[in-house]
Chains A and B, each alone.
Chain A
Amino acid sequence: AQKVTQAQTEISVVEKEDVTLDCVYETRDTTYYLFWYKQPPSGELVFLIRRNSFDEQNEISGRYSWNFQKSTSSFNFTITASQVVDSAVYFCALSEVSNGGGADGLTFGKGTHLIIQP
């Protein structure tokens, strides 16, 4: 069975600090997908990034970066120079490969509530 653990329930930092959100996953599949979604106070789920299990290359997008390490089953998310608008709940999610070759039902972690104080 798949499992995603986000051990940090809530993180509070002051604006401009760097912050890392941890995600540890469990799966018996050798091929899988990992995702991060952002849920701002308005409630929608906003896609941030997708990673295939065979692609361990780290990624940077502006102030966001992701560190994928299969050896430790972790997919951590770092926000550099945090801003108040980054305040949200962040979910890490895992999916197996469907018969059609794409990702199927997502297993979400419990989320990390990130509070950026001005």
Chain B
Amino acid sequence: EPEVTQTPSHQVTQMGQEVILRCVPISNHLYFYWYRQILGQKVEFLVSFYNNEISEKSEIFDDQFSVERPDGSNFTLKIRSTKLEDSAMYFCASRPAGYDTQYFGPGTRLTVL
């Protein structure tokens, strides 16, 4: 069964550094999403992406965040200058057109020191 994959599984970085989190959505899916979950808290929507552009973003998704689909398979989340409060689990999700369920990847745990 196809799955969403994410790399790396754990990323440790210094405050102020740039990080890129990578996701490979399920191959026939057209809508892509990023969510984050601060330890012990709820999952929060960051951004949705369709047809090579952002379709919706939350208040959390400020100028330090960006997303890109650099090729036909990868979907990336970039954090330009990480802060301590960016430490969280970041989940990628995808879904096909016209179908409602988002399928999540295993997550990347980001630790900012």
Which A residues fall within an 8 A CB radius of B?
33, 35, 37, 43-47, 50, 52, 91, 93, 95, 98-111
Question: Which B residues are CB-close (under 8 A) to A33?
Answer: 100
* B75 is an interface residue with CB less than 8 A from chain A: no
Structural contact, A105 and B48, CB atoms closer than 8 A = yes
CB-based nearest A residue for B9: A43
Structural contact, B31 and A100, CB atoms closer than 8 A = yes
Dominant secondary structure at the B interface: strand
Interchain CB contact (< 8 A) of B55 among A44, A52, A104: A104
**In the complex, which range does the number of interface residues on chain B fall in?**
20 to 34
Q: 6 pairs across A/B with beta carbons < 8 Å?
A: A43-B106, A98-B50, A103-B100, A104-B56, A105-B45, A106-B102
Structural contact, A111 and B42, CB atoms closer than 8 A = yes
Which B residues fall within an 8 A CB radius of A?
31, 33, 35, 41-45, 47-48, 50, 55-56, 58, 89, 91, 95, 97-107, 109
Question: Which B residues are CB-close (under 8 A) to A111?
Answer: 42
CB-based nearest B residue for A99: B55
Question: Which A residues are CB-close (under 8 A) to B89?
Answer: 43
Structural contact, B44 and A108, CB atoms closer than 8 A = yes
Interchain CB contact (< 8 A) of A47 among B47, B50, B56, B103: B103
Q: Provide the bound-state CA to CA distance between A46 and B43, in Å.
A: 13
CB-based nearest B residue for A46: B104
